[in-house]
Amino acid sequence: MIKSEYMANTGLQALMLLALAAALSATPARGAGLYKWTDDQGVVHYSDQMPADAMNKGSVVFDKKGRPVKKIDPALTPAQLKANEAEEERQRAIARTQEMKARRDTALLHSYTSEEEIEFARKRALSAIESQLKSAEEYTADLSRRQQELQKQKLGFAGKTVPNALETELAGIDAELARQATLLVQRKAELAKLSAKYDDDKQRFRELRAEQQKPPGSASPQAGNAVTLPASVSNVKGAPTSPK
C-alpha cells in the first residue's frame, strides 16, 4: 500500500515536470521564458505572458530550460507604502540627530581645552542672569513698599472718596508686581536650564577626552556615544590656558 502511494506521488510529480517542460517548449522564441504566478484563489498558473490583473501579485520568471531566472515581488499595498515612508522618516530623523550631536561634540572640543574652562564659562553666563534676577527682586521690593504706602493712604480716606490718582497708581503697581513675578519665575527657570546645560557639557567633554586617550582599536563601553573627531580637534595646540 505504501509503495503504491509512493509510486503514485512520484508519477504525479513526473507529470507536473513534463507539463512544465511542454509549456516551456511551446513558449514563443521571442519570450524570456515562462511566468509562474498565483491568483486570488491560491491557484498556481504558468503562462508565457502575465495577465494584466496579475501584474501586481508577484511572479517568478523561468528560462526556456525551466530554471528560475528572476523573481518579481508583489506591489506594495497602501498600508505597506505608508509604513515604509514612516520608517524612512524615522531613519532620517535618527541621522539628523546623530549629525547634530557630532557637530555639538566638535564645537565643544573646539571651544574648551579643560573642564575648568567650562566651569569658568558657566559662572560668567550665570552671573548675567543672576544680575538680572537681583535687579528684578530689588525693583519688586521697591514696588511692594510703595504699594504698602498707598494702601495706608487709602485707609486714611475711610468714608471719603479715594482720589482717582491714588487708585490708578495702586492698580498700576498691582499689575507691575504681577508682571515682575512672572518674569522672576522665567529668569529662575533660565538659570536652572543654563546650569544644567553646562553640567551636560562638562560630562560630554569628559567622555570625549576619555575617548581620545584610548589606544587605537580599543573597545568603548559607550560606543553609542562615540564620535569621529577631526585631527584638528584631537590634537589641539596653542590652546588658551585655563582661567584661574
Residue 6, domain member (yes or no)? yes
Residue 165, domain member (yes or no)? yes
DSSP output for 167-236: HHHHHHHHHHHHHHHHHHHHHHHHHHHHHHHHHHHHHHHHHHHHHHHSPTT---TTGGG--PPPHHHHT-
- Measured CA to CA, the distance from residue 153 to residue 94 in angstroms comes to 64
Residue 169, domain member (yes or no)? yes
Grid cell in block for residue 15: 507529470
Looking at the structure, tell me whether residues 101 and 48 fall in a common domain: no
Looking at the structure, tell me whether residues 140 and 201 fall in a common domain: yes
Last residue of one domain, picked from the residues 45, 72, 99: 72
Whole-number percent of the chain with pLDDT over 90: 51
- Measured CA to CA, the distance from residue 178 to residue 176 in angstroms comes to 5
Task: List alpha helices for 70-163, DSSP H.
Answer: 78-111, 115-155
Cβ neighbour number for residue 22 with a 10 Å cutoff: 9
Highest mean pLDDT among 2-6, 136-140, 240-244: 136-140
Looking at the structure, tell me whether residues 9 and 65 fall in a common domain: yes
**Residue 84 amino acid letter:** N
Residue 13's domain spans which residues?
A: 2-72
Within 8 A by CB and 6+ apart from 114, the residues are 242
Looking at the structure, tell me whether residues 169 and 95 fall in a common domain: no
Looking at the structure, tell me whether residues 102 and 124 fall in a common domain: no
Total count of domains within the chain? 3
Residue 237, domain member (yes or no)? no
Global pTM reads 0.51
Which residue from 4, 44, 43 is spatially nearest to 20, judged by alpha carbons?
44
Q: Sorting pLDDT into bands at 50, 70 and 90, what band is 37?
A: low
Residues 153-181, mean pLDDT to the nearest whole number: 93
Residue 236, domain member (yes or no)? no
- Measured CA to CA, the distance from residue 146 to residue 152 in angstroms comes to 10
Tens of pLDDT, residues 81-121: 899 999 999 999 999 999 999 999 999 999 999 999 999 99
Looking at the structure, tell me whether residues 118 and 104 fall in a common domain: no
Looking at the structure, tell me whether residues 188 and 128 fall in a common domain: yes
- Measured CA to CA, the distance from residue 46 to residue 20 in angstroms comes to 8
CA 187 to chain centre: 29
| Res. 196: pLDDT tops 80 | yes
- Identify the residue with better confidence: 4 or 116: 116
114-118's contacts with Cβ under 8 Å and 24+ in sequence apart are 114/242, 115/202, 115/205, 115/206, 116/242, 116/243, 117/240, 117/242, 117/243, 118/198, 118/201, 118/202, 118/205
Highest mean pLDDT among 53-57, 60-64, 81-85, 190-194: 190-194
132-171 residues labelled b (16+ CB within 10 A) or e (exposed): ebeebeeebeebeeebeebeeeeeeeeeeeeeeeeeeebe
Grid cell in block for residue 118: 567650562
Looking at the structure, tell me whether residues 139 and 156 fall in a common domain: yes
